[in-house]
Amino acid sequence: MNDNTTSTTFNWRDKRYSTFYRVVDQIVNELQEMVWSDGKRKKRLKGDKLDSLHHSVEKLVSDTVSLVYSKKRRSNASIHKALGHYKHSRYNQNLSYRIHIHRAYDGMCDLGYLNLVLKGASDGAHGKYLTRYEATPKLLSLFSAEEQELCPVIIPHLPQDETIRVQVNEIIEEEGKRPWKRTKTLDYEETPEVVTMRSNLKVINDSLLRNWYDLELSDDAFLEMEQLLLNKDQTDISRQLNLSRRTLHRVFNDVHFKTGGRFYGAWWQFVPKKYRSKLLVNGKRMVEYDYSNLHPTILYAEAGLTAREDAYADILFPRSDCPKATGKGCRSAVKKAMNAMLNATKTMTRPPGGFKPSDYGTTWKELSSRILKRHHKIADKFYTGQGQRLQRIDSQIAEKVLLHFTKYGNAILPLHDSFLVHSGYEMELEEVMLTEFKKLFDVPIHVSKNTTKLNPQPAKDSIEDNSSGINIESILESINVGYEKRLDAFRNLRSIR
């Protein structure tokens, strides 16, 4: 390769992803040679700046193309266009505003590889949503028709700049405007604890990347599920499922790592609960176990007490009399209320967003009073911001559970206080969850299996062999569905040396 295409930093590449790197090199070469709208060519980049251009093109191609894995599946990616976002830090080590936005993004748009879908919007300093863009047919045409259906598999994992993150929420108040929340990342001291956590996370992520996770859904059913996700907040396209995102990072809420610490970043964390029964690991069904009453049990244990068997039951109504006003039941309503009360730093006069106590024939004041009365032995913990501290504890337990399974090369997916494993390991998962909790708190806790199932939808316009009652078209389609193709492609990639 000549200097038009790549620098020495990129001379070694994983040959399993040769198509991706060929596409990146072609686009980088075109960006180096292109004539811009003012009729001029920009100065050719070399050395570190050329490396930065490669990183930018890799990210732009990956963020858009990995969202394409069926003829109907072309979703939007988002991009920060504010100058301040590209300040060099532990969270951003490779992208610069001048190269990533002005050279790579704008250039790929001018070359016809990217298409602006919706400009970002803001209200003064308040960003409402990011700029949205998508891969064009020209960019997709650089991949074969077969490769386009396998994009989440054939696009390499791009390492994160930092997997241990500290984020805080700031409330910004401007005269004449409603207060709004801004998320800010903080730098922190590199301590032995941080090094250990980052090392553990690398072990976990390396294990995750050795397996393929998918959903046992037809392409149409997959799209229907995604639409449910987007309907919750049409401005938040981060909820769309990018199957190539199979690694985790941890988010803490203070620079001393006393609060937060949960694992985020993987696509399966956005899957609606009722669809989790369709999760597959290497083509095999998964099972989910979670801790019951985890945070209340911890608070009682810290007080030297044993929690009730179910901290959320019979507070609104006796279990047998609970109305199904919202389709979730009274227990879920109480759980949501208690979580809000534990996270709040002062007494709440209104219910959390999306929750209506009137659906259960009560008011927020009355519900809060009932919870405090039922849990009077730990009442001093409510409205004191305990939630983030409790998350630090459950993330510590989660790290231990994850490391147990990754040590033996077994796939395990975290969902905060629950975990998914291949069905053959469910008894081991239950035992490990109980053991790790007992190491911290010498009190009993219940671990339960999530048995939520998704009712299968009959295939539309199917052709049946009436003599046998067998749906022939359905059988033929099942052999060639997206998740089977992606698994075969993943296995083929792993066989390449």
Give the residue extent of every domain in the chain: 1-161, 312-374
Beta strand 249-252 pairing with 164-172: parallel
Cα(54)–Cα(107) distance, integer angstroms: 13
Q: Which residues contact 39 (CB under 8 A, 6 or more apart)?
A: none
Strand, helix or coil at 22? Answer: helix
Whether residue 250 contacts residue 163, with contact meaning beta carbons closer than 8 Å, is answered with: yes
- The tokens of 76 are what? 């939007």
Cα(423)–Cα(397) distance, integer angstroms: 21
CA-based max dimension of the chain = 76
Strand, helix or coil at 367? Answer: helix
Supply the pTM of this predicted model: 0.87
Cα(162)–Cα(166) distance, integer angstroms: 10
Q: Which residues contact 313 (CB under 8 A, 6 or more apart)?
A: 319, 331, 334
Q: Which residues contact 336 (CB under 8 A, 6 or more apart)?
A: 352, 355
Phi/psi region, residue 270 (left: phi>0; alpha: psi -120 to 50; beta: rest), is alpha
Q: Please report how many Cα atoms fall inside a 13 Å half-sphere around the Cα of residue 125, on the Cβ side.
A: 14
Whether residue 251 contacts residue 165, with contact meaning beta carbons closer than 8 Å, is answered with: yes
Residue 296 confidence (pLDDT): 95
Among candidates 128, 141, 152, which has minimal Cα distance to 68?
Answer: 152
Whether residue 60 contacts residue 134, with contact meaning beta carbons closer than 8 Å, is answered with: no
Q: What sign for the dihedral angle of Cα 192, 193, 196, 197?
A: negative
For residue 56, CA distances in Å to 30, 95, 258 come to 14, 6, 35
Cα(466)–Cα(28) distance, integer angstroms: 57
- The tokens of 24 are what? 């990146």
Residue 192 confidence (pLDDT): 97
Whether residue 168 contacts residue 186, with contact meaning beta carbons closer than 8 Å, is answered with: yes
For residue 496, CA distances in Å to 244, 269, 455, 473, 491 come to 19, 30, 38, 34, 9
In this structure, how many other beta carbons lie within 10 angstroms of the beta carbon of residue 465?
11
Residue 475 confidence (pLDDT): 38
Among candidates 71, 353, 361, 351, which has minimal Cα distance to 219?
Answer: 71
Cα(343)–Cα(173) distance, integer angstroms: 21
Residue 10 confidence (pLDDT): 55
Whether residue 318 contacts residue 329, with contact meaning beta carbons closer than 8 Å, is answered with: no
Rg (CA), the chain: 25
Cα(426)–Cα(286) distance, integer angstroms: 9
- The tokens of 53 are what? 């251009």
Q: Which residues contact 481 (CB under 8 A, 6 or more apart)?
A: 218, 219
Whether residue 24 contacts residue 6, with contact meaning beta carbons closer than 8 Å, is answered with: no
Placement of tokens 């047998």 in the chain: 320
40, with CB counted inside 10 A (0-12, 13-18, 19+), is: exposed
Strand, helix or coil at 403? Answer: helix
Placement of tokens 């108040």 in the chain: 173
Cα(192)–Cα(425) distance, integer angstroms: 33
Placement of tokens 């994983």 in the chain: 14
84 residue type, one letter: G
Among candidates 289, 280, 285, 317, which has minimal Cα distance to 427?
Answer: 289
- Per-residue pLDDT 10s for the chain (497 aa) are 445 555 545 556 788 899 999 999 999 999 999 988 788 888 999 999 999 999 999 999 999 998 877 666 667 899 998 888 899 999 999 999 999 999 999 999 999 999 999 887 654 555 567 899 999 999 999 999 999 989 999 999 898 999 999 999 877 776 766 666 778 899 999 999 999 999 999 999 999 999 999 999 988 888 888 887 776 555 555 667 889 999 999 999 999 999 999 999 999 998 988 898 999 999 999 999 999 999 999 999 999 999 888 899 888 765 555 655 444 468 888 999 999 999 999 999 999 887 888 888 889 999 999 999 999 999 999 999 999 999 999 999 999 999 999 988 889 999 888 999 998 899 999 999 999 999 999 888 999 998 765 544 433 333 334 444 444 444 344 446 789 999 999 999 988 86
Cα(49)–Cα(403) distance, integer angstroms: 38
Say which DSSP state 454 is in.
P
148 phi, psi to nearest 5 deg: -65, -30
